[in-house]
Structure 1
Amino acid sequence: MAKLYAKAHHPEEWLEMISLVRDIGFLLVVSWFFWRTISEFRQQFMTRDTRSDSQVDQTTIDALCKLGYLLVVVITLITFLQTIGISISGLLAAGGIGGIAIGFAAKDILANFFGGLTIYLDRPFSVGDWIRSPDKDIEGTVEMISWRHTRIRRFNKNPIYIPNMLFTTIAVENPSRMSHRRIRETIGIRYADLDKMAGIVSAIRDMLQHHPEIDQSQTLIVNFVTFNKSSLDIMIYAFTRTRVWEEYHHVKQDVLLKVGEVISALGAEVAFPTQTLHLATLPEPQST
């Protein structure tokens, strides 16, 4: 009876419009629900991992959330077009030529998109990593990875914005993922201390082998390597246990100070550039 009453008192166009508005409203509510669910998932995951003191892979979380947002938008758009009576297959067929033209015009945008996708899949670096490239003047801390560009903060605090497609063509170093930090120094002593060289090399090697911050499982080299122009050079090659930049320099300072103590204790001195002039004959003194 209610249906007959509605038909008798309302035109069919109004009933169709009401049905269309209802369907679109339901679609928007469902889409908004999934959008909010993704946002809440991201926020809850980040909060939970921060409280548990575990490392949060922000790159992976951002990639999954952005992919979720993209799926919500695409599915909502397709469903909306179907709801208002537009055929998707016909639209795709009609827009084929236009799509090709747009594709050529937006090739850089697409290249950046796939470059960002490569970063998300291969994960050569993550947000918070220190990276640098030997091919380009790029070095700093990764602050953000979007689908179009990556923002890097230089050590002088200036931001640089790198198109993602660039990372598919250049080599990228990630010092944040190094296993150790290396100490590689050349120490020179005087030629006058050649007879003390063997004792100095042995004492420095013994000091490094008993240093608590030097990793003994890695390569450790202390050798007399070169008769240089004004010094006898000793090469020191070792790896620290720490990877932290500030701690590494404290360890390196301690090693160099101990090397200086070893050289002084054996009665030798660190060399500095000097020249010795040999004269075949001495000039006759002039009488006044």
Structure 2
Amino acid sequence: MNDFIEQLPEQLQLDQLPLIGEAWIYHVFAVVLASLVCAYIAKRVLDHVQARAEKTRNIWDDALVDAARRPAWVLIWSMGLLWAARITALQMDDDLAAVLDQLQRLLLIGLLTWFVLRMMRQVEQRLVDPAYRETPADKTTVGAIGKLLRASVVITAALVVLQSLGYSISGVLAFGGIGGIAVGFAAKDLLANFFGGLMIYLDRPFVVGNWIRSPDRNIEGTVEDIGWRLTRIRTFDKRPLYIPNAVFANIVVENPSRMTHRRIYEHIGIRYDDIKRMEPIVADVRKMLQAHEDIDQEQTLMVFFDRCSPSSVDFFIYCFTTPVWAEFHRVKEDVLLKILAIVEKHEAQVAFPTSTIHLPDALELRGAQLADGRPRDSVRELQENDA
């Protein structure tokens, strides 16, 4: 913008010369009024463009309009006010006008950076939103790429600002290289977490929304966010867990969300008195599972008499169904109810723990006589006679 002003004819550079009398007041008023008109026109134009953009499924036009709204409004008013302030400063102090020029350049850099960051954020949100895409992108991958790009933009903007302030970028980079070694030793845990987060993004053992757990640690829940230092997990009782990323490099992580099937593995016991009915019961249960629409017939399916337990003879069922947690329990409930119906159909009973006590004949006789109400002496005499 300053280059454009310098290229204007000298007679048009009204803000470069002190104005006579109160003319500068009218000039300032004209600049503020022009800013107001430009802000109104920009709003109307953006509203019209947004209305057209909403009719398409292209994510870029919507993101561009949403990202440009606030920076454009701030740009118009800030440039207008700075221009008015510069005109006023020329009437008082040239050094103040130079400071305002520097501030104007820095503000342009900041607004451009703000616009680019907003644009990235809008695109990132739309890439994972089903309302904009039929097949949304992976939230974890989009988040990782977005964070890297935003960090690059911020670093680049900082270097441009330093250059605008008169600092040597090469010196800053050299100092950063030397300082980076010291920082690396002082913040090794922080760097370990950073590279741990990077490995999560690259290896993808889990993504946002997955249910994970670790047999090595008391960690189980749904992944809500994967940051560069911490991963936030929400447990099933809704408590948040904040886990440093370096931890995942040293533990085993199980990801049940990526299960292809869930297994139904149960033992059913019937009484020893019903052992003759075991074979037809097992055969009918096997037929029932083979005909069940929710049991995957391409996976292992077994029903066999398995063991003789202390109070029952047991057979087991082994099959696979849907990986969806709630649906799995519905299927399992249906299977168990049908198995119990088959057991009842064959006039057998499901066994429960029982104990049988065998007593010697003399004790049985004593118990019987005491139950008749006879005195103990009579019982003893009866036992001696029997002997």
TM-score class, shorter: 0.7 to 0.9
Q: Residue 323 of structure 2 is aligned with which of 243, 254, 263?
A: 243
Q: Does 1:65 align with 2:169?
A: no
1:216 alignment counterpart: 297
Q: Residue 86 of structure 1 is aligned with which of 157, 167, 171?
A: 167
Map 1:75-224 onto structure 2 (within 5 A).
Answer: 75-224=156-305
Q: How many residues align?
A: 285
Q: What is the alpha-carbon distance in structure 2 between the residues aligned to residue 267 and residue 65 of structure 1?
A: 66
- State TM-score, norm by structure 1: 0.88
Q: Does 1:260 align with 2:260?
A: no
Q: What is the alpha-carbon distance in structure 2 between the residues aligned to residue 51 and residue 45 of structure 1?
A: 7
Amino acid at match of 1:33: F
Identical-residue share of aligned pairs (%): 50
Q: What is the alpha-carbon distance in structure 2 between the residues aligned to residue 51 and residue 89 of structure 1?
A: 43
CA deviations 1:174-218 (Å, max 9, x no partner) are: 111111111010111111111111111111111100011100000
Q: What is the alpha-carbon distance in structure 1 between the residues aligned to residue 318 and residue 98 of structure 2?
A: 82
**8 Å Cα contact 2:126-2:132 kept in structure 1:** no
Q: What is the alpha-carbon distance in structure 1 between the residues aligned to residue 295 and residue 150 of structure 2?
A: 48
Q: Which moved more, 1:90-99 or 1:195-204?
A: 90-99
Output the aligned Cα RMSD. Answer: 2.8
Amino acid at match of 2:120: I
Q: Does 1:44 align with 2:134?
A: no
SS across alignment from 1:50: coil
Amino acid at match of 1:61: V
Shift of the alpha carbon at 1:238?
0.4
Q: Does 1:271 align with 2:351?
A: yes
Structure 1 gaps of 5+ residues are: none
**8 Å Cα contact 1:133-1:173 kept in structure 2:** yes
Map 1:1-20 onto structure 2 (within 5 A).
Answer: 2=10, 20=102
Q: What is the alpha-carbon distance in structure 1 between the residues aligned to residue 168 and residue 140 of structure 2?
A: 37
Larger Rg: 2
Shift of the alpha carbon at 1:27?
2.5
- State TM-score, norm by structure 2: 0.67
Q: Does 1:35 align with 2:117?
A: yes
Q: Residues 61 and 8 (structure 1 numbering): CA distance in 2 closer, same or farther, change over 3 Å?
A: closer
Shift of the alpha carbon at 1:225?
1.1
1:230 alignment counterpart: 311
Structure 2 gaps of 5+ residues are: 1-8, 19-89, 370-377, 380-387
Shift of the alpha carbon at 1:66?
1.2
Q: Which moved more, 1:260-269 or 1:78-87?
A: 78-87
